[in-house]
Structure formats: C-alpha cells, structure tokens
Structure 1
C-alpha cells in the first residue's frame, strides 16, 4: 500500500500579507520615480540606462555568490522571453503610448484591464479556477480604479497609435505573468535577472538608438530617481513579483495591481500636491474591497 501524500502547507503571512503589501507599495512607487526622471532624459534612454545598470549591479552578485545558471539553452530561452515581455514590451509600450499623446489616466485604466484578462486566460492555459466571487471582486476592483482615475481620464487626443502601444503593453505584462508561471519556476533569480535584462536590452537598444539617445541631465534628482528605479524596482520589486507568481494563483496576484493606481494617487497627493477628492477615496475603498474578494480564502 502506498504511503499517504504529505499535506501541503498552507501559505504563511509572508506570502499572503507582508510580501503582497510591500509589492503594491513598491510597484506604485515606480510611477512616482518615473515622473521624477521626466525632463532629464528621453524615456527610452532611461529604459536602456536602467537595463545596463541592473546588469552591472547583478554581475558581481552572481560571481561572488556563485549563482547557478540555467541548466539548458531551452531554460535560458524561457527566461529571456519573460524579460522581453515584461521589460521591453510592457515598459516600452507604456513609454511609447505616453510619448504619442495617451493621457496618463487613460494609460492607467488600460493597464487595469490586466487582472481581468489574466483571469480569463488562467483557466484554459494554467488550469486555475476563478470563482464567481473572484469575478465579482475583479469587476469591483476595476470599477474602483475607474473612480480613482475619473478626473484624470480624457479622450480628446489624436494618438490612436499610442492606444495601440498601450494595449501592447498590457498584453506584454499579461503574457509575462502566464509564461513565467508556466515555464520559469526553477531558475535562480540572480542569473535570471541578468538574462532577462540582457534580452530586454537587445530588443530596446535598436529602438533607442534609432530615436536618438539625446542629452542626459545628471542632476541629483535624476540620479536619485534612477537609483530607485534600478535598485528598488528593477532588482527588488521585479524579483518579488516573480516570487509571488510562483506562490499565488495568477488571478489572485494580478488583482493586487488594482491597488497600484490608488496607492499612486495617494503618493502623488503627498509628493506632487495632486488632487484627491471624495470620488477617488471611494474608488480606493472599492478597489480594496475588490481585491479582498479575490484573495479571500
């Protein structure tokens, strides 16, 4: 008679509370840091600088820590695909859309579609079940995000090409989430980071040089914002995101992104004096309730 299967340990507070809370806070801080880089360098120049510095930071960590590399070219290729989707397609699509006139509020609303798209795809692609309560939470969260962004959304622009880039961006992060969960569970995060950023740099470098590097104003503000983007976001938050993918259902994890626009709006209120009216506060509450409905056991 075969031995009974060992019970699966329930997720602890680190996976269910502390790590997701830290992720939302840090992911939201990326929008504030990116805003601080505006005017000091062209967007794609900032992206390429980010990729290069991350590789330079991670290289000695990999060497000194003797981090293992992927066991095969196939595994390395899967890791590179995630890097291109999340760093080149997602980030590049956002910057390209904003450059072509898409308002920041419209861009944020399009990005908020990602949890809905992910929940639609996780069943056929990953075999994950999304319950009726979770669907209700996803729709409630999307409505909350819409209220938070209500006074920042307008469609009086001609940049339809920018909208195309915006939907390319949301497709990139959705595909990266599903691909990472399906194919990249065993790679060491240190060597994986180098592979992903090198792959993303190889894709974005031709675009950056074609548009022109431009001038970079190396002011203290720009250096501080770039340092935050590189160390805290590109190394810390990015790998926290990948870590959470493997320890949570994809629909549950991506629902956390509903909390990013409210957190960003709150940070913008303190950092830039942006308005935060009753409608935004109501939207924050609805977004939080929506996420709670999705992640609640």
Structure 2
C-alpha cells in the first residue's frame, strides 16, 4: 500500500468524497435490514476482502498480543460504536441534518483530546480554523434543524439523539486511540484486526437485540457492496493513512467538509435548495480546512 503514502495531498480529498456517501448508503440499506445485522454482514464481508488483500500484499500480523488488543479496541470504537450509533439513529428516523450537526463536533473534540492525551500542540490558527468550520457547519444545517430544545426532542426520541452522541464519542476516541497506540500498524492487517473487533460487537448486538432478517433486494445488494468496497475498504484505509501521516487536529478538520459536500450533493441530486446562508457556510468550511491544515503554525 505504498502508493497511498505517495499521494498525501490527494488522500484527504478522496477520503472526504467517499466518506460523504456514508449517510446515503445507510439510508438506502436500513429499510432492508436492522442496523447491527447490516453491520455484521458489512464487517464480515470486509474481513474476507481484507484477508485476500493481506495475502496478496504479503502483510504481516501484529507482533504482540497488546497490539492485537489495541487494534481491536480502535475497531470497536470507530467501526462498531460510531457506525452502530449512526445506523441505529437513522433507523429510528432521526434527521440526517441533526446527525451531521452532532457528528460535526468531532474536530473540536479530537483537538481537545489530542492535546490532553497525546500532548499535541494545537496552534491558535488551528483553533480558529476549527471554530470557523463549526460555524460554517451550523450555517449549512440552520434551515434543516430546529435548534430549540423542545424541537430537538419532540420529533426525535431521546435514545436516537443519545445514539448519535455515542457515535461522536466513538469516532473521536477511536481516532485518538489509533494515533496513540496503533500508529505503527501494518495498514492491511491492522485494519483487518480492527474490523474483527467491530465484527464481534455487531454479532453480539444483532443476536441479543435484533431478529437478523434481511430483505435481499437488488438495492440492498448494491448498497452493501458499496459499503464494503467503497466505505469499509476504500475510505477507512484512506483514513488510517491520514492518521499516520498527519496530526490529529488536521485529520479531524477534514470531517468538516463532509456535511458541506453532502449538502451540495443533495442540491445537485435531489433538488434540495441551498440558500445564501448555506453557501456562506460551505465557503467558511473550505476556508477553515485550508487554515487548519496549513503547515505554518502560529
């Protein structure tokens, strides 16, 4: 996978493009399967593909038992808790706008955690960029979300909102944990072990809380295939590469681009309106990412 390391400038933008399809893929797949049942199949098929890639690439297994444990914990957080919470919330009919708004807090959370746990220095310019990006995110979602407390909890159950916050904690902690304990992992075998940790969680959740039924329609099969090859393989390998190449605050800032790109896609594909406030939000996010990922510090 040396070719991924050679495209450090292209990697983040390709990641954002692929990762932004995640909500759409979940929305298409969940009418045909329950959340953790869908994720069990997704993770299981991903394990098979990664094992084949591992053999072809002659990747080596982690060298110690602790390395296995750290990788499994990372996988449980990123691929289990994060995706499980988002999928469950969407299944409970929470607004995708509200979900994106909550998950959009991740870069700030990652910067805070990185400073405390990893002792990474987050410059004033990076903090300013993170905050500007958060403002841009809220501008994009302003017309789609009822920001009144009564509005948030009238249309969406408390448990659905809590599930998204659980996802936020999972992806933030998982990314930091990856940077702290798994930064020297082999890209293929390490990701495989991570998915194995998530696979165990999803099997347990599906067995105890779901009936395991799937409606194998053409739409579901295509959606599942994209989730495996596009998201679980393509986007996640790109994310792992970014974490190894960059400081955590810079990696986190790219997540601000996801809701902006989703808003543009929704306007282009589904005719959803983008007013002046939304356009300003997109521009603010682009400016914030450029500021936060700048090599110059202050």
Tell me the TM-score normalised to structure 1 length.
Answer: 0.90
Which residue does 1:75 correspond to in 2?
67
1:90–1:168 contact (8 Å) kept in structure 2? yes
Alpha-carbon deviation of 1:13? 8.3
- Alignment of 1:118 onto 2:128: no
Could you tell me how far apart the structure 1 residues matched to 2:229 and 2:41 are?
13
1:148–1:283 contact (8 Å) kept in structure 2? yes
How is 1:209-248 mapped onto 2 (pairs within 5 angstroms)? 209-248=207-246
Tell me the TM-score normalised to structure 2 length.
Answer: 0.90
Which residue does 1:102 correspond to in 2?
94
SS in 1 for 2:143: helix
Q: Which moved more, 1:168-177 or 1:94-103?
A: 94-103
- Alignment of 1:57 onto 2:49: yes
SS in 1 for 2:200: helix
Which residue does 2:7 correspond to in 1?
14
Could you tell me how far apart the structure 2 residues matched to 1:141 and 1:193 are?
29
Could you tell me how far apart the structure 2 residues matched to 1:95 and 1:35 are?
8
Which residue does 2:149 correspond to in 1?
none
1:101–1:157 contact (8 Å) kept in structure 2? no
Which residue does 1:172 correspond to in 2?
170
Could you tell me how far apart the structure 2 residues matched to 1:28 and 1:246 are?
21
SS in 2 for 1:151: coil
Deviations 1:234-273 (A, max 9, x none): 0111011011011111001100100000111112223333
Could you tell me how far apart the structure 1 residues matched to 2:6 and 2:95 are?
38
Q: Which moved more, 1:165-174 or 1:268-277?
A: 268-277
SS in 2 for 1:173: helix
Which residue does 1:292 correspond to in 2?
290
Could you tell me how far apart the structure 1 residues matched to 2:72 and 2:158 are?
30
CA RMSD in angstroms comes to 1.8
Deviations 1:207-254 (A, max 9, x none): 112232454232222222211110111011101101101111100110
Alpha-carbon deviation of 1:153? 1.1
- Alignment of 1:153 onto 2:145: yes
Alpha-carbon deviation of 1:107? 1.2
Which residue does 1:42 correspond to in 2?
34
Alpha-carbon deviation of 1:185? 1.7
Deviations 1:116-158 (A, max 9, x none): 1111121221121111121111111001111111122132325
1:32–1:267 contact (8 Å) kept in structure 2? no
Of residues 1, 17, 21, the one that matches 1:25 is 17
Distance 1:255 1:225, change over 3 A: same
> Computing the radius of gyration over CA atoms, which structure comes out larger, 1 or 2?
1
Could you tell me how far apart the structure 2 residues matched to 1:219 and 1:79 are?
34
Q: Which moved more, 1:41-50 or 1:134-143?
A: 41-50
Corresponding residue pairs, total: 285
- Alignment of 1:196 onto 2:194: yes
Distance 1:42 1:248, change over 3 A: same
Q: Give unmatched runs, 5+ long, in structure 2.
A: 147-151
